């Protein structure tokens, strides 16, 4: 029986594009279309940074630092100028991201049905606490890649909730927002619901999630009241 439901943050719970495009547009004076391209490249470089960090085997590079390095990289590639204060403000915007429209209702409904709810994210703990305070969602626990010392899809990050709460993999359902996260959670032995907004497929069907839907709402169909 599922007892704990963990949510990915930066893909499953929040809308990065809707949150960051206006911030980039204001900070850099760019039109919306170019700002959107900047955000997509920023996110891609940030994700590459997490995989680079895992591969080095030299300890986890903090997520905030990877976010800044990725921003510096995209600004350099696009020959965009931004002073230090602007760069710091853009990194800080990750602490004020906005939820997907249905996210609040779904998280609150899962909690009301008797499940323990937590976030399980690549983010630094301080970043996650700031973001959750901003959105005002009632999570029981915050599990961070910082605690694991690695980034998704390394299995260690998915085992942090089990070790912290004395649970088994059968007690946990992870809500993924990306194909990589879905595969990682399945490879680590967890049940997985994938909020698959873009209609993607997993690279390796061996690690197909147990359930998926076009957004978070479908989660309620697979979690009956306890």
CA atoms of 165 and 36, how far apart (whole Å):
39
pLDDT tens-digit series, residues 100-157: 999 999 999 999 999 999 999 999 999 999 999 999 998 999 999 999 999 999 999 9
Q: Which domains does the chain have, with CATH numbers?
A: 4-14+97-222 (3.40.50.1000), 16-96 (1.10.150.240)
- Residue 166's contacts (CB-CB under 8 Å, 6 or more residues apart) are none
What is the bridge-based pairing of β-strands 172-176 and 4-7?
parallel
Mean pLDDT of 179-195: 98
Which pLDDT score, from 0 to 100, does residue 213 have?
A: 98
Task: Give percent above pLDDT 70 in the chain.
Answer: 100
- pLDDT at residue number 127: 98
pLDDT value of position 138: 86
Contact between 99 and 14 under an 8 Å Cβ cutoff? The reply is yes
Q: What is the mean pLDDT of the chain?
A: 98
Tokens of residue 148, six digits: 């694991």
The label of the residue with tokens 């206006």 reads: 22
pLDDT in tens, 48-90: 999 999 999 999 999 999 999 999 999 999 999 999 999 999 9
């Amino acid at each position: 029986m599922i007892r704990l439901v963990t949510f990915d943050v930066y893909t499953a719970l929040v809308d990065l594009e809707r949150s960051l495009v206006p911030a980039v547009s204001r900070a850099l004076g760019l039109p919306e279309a170019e700002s959107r391209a900047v955000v997509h490249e920023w996110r891609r470089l940030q994700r590459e940074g997490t995989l680079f960090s895992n591969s080095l085997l030299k300890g986890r590079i903090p997520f905030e630092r990877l976010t800044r390095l990725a921003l510096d990289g995209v600004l350099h590639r696009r020959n965009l100028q931004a002073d230090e204060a602007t760069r710091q403000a853009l990194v800080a915007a990750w602490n004020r991201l906005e939820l997907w429209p249905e996210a609040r209702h779904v998280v609150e409904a899962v909690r009301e049905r008797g499940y323990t709810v937590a976030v399980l994210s690549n983010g630094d703990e301080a970043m996650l606490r700031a973001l959750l305070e901003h959105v005002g969602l009632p999570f029981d626990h915050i599990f961070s890649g910082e605690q694991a010392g690695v980034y998704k899809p390394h299995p260690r990050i998915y085992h942090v909730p089990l070790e912290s709460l004395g649970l088994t993999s059968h007690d946990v359902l992870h809500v993924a927002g990306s194909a990589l996260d879905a595969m990682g959670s399945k490879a680590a032995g967890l049940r997985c619901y994938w909020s698959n907004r873009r209609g993607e497929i997993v690279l390796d069907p061996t690690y197909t999630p147990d359930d998926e839907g076009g957004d978070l709402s479908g989660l309620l169909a697979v979690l009956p009241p306890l």
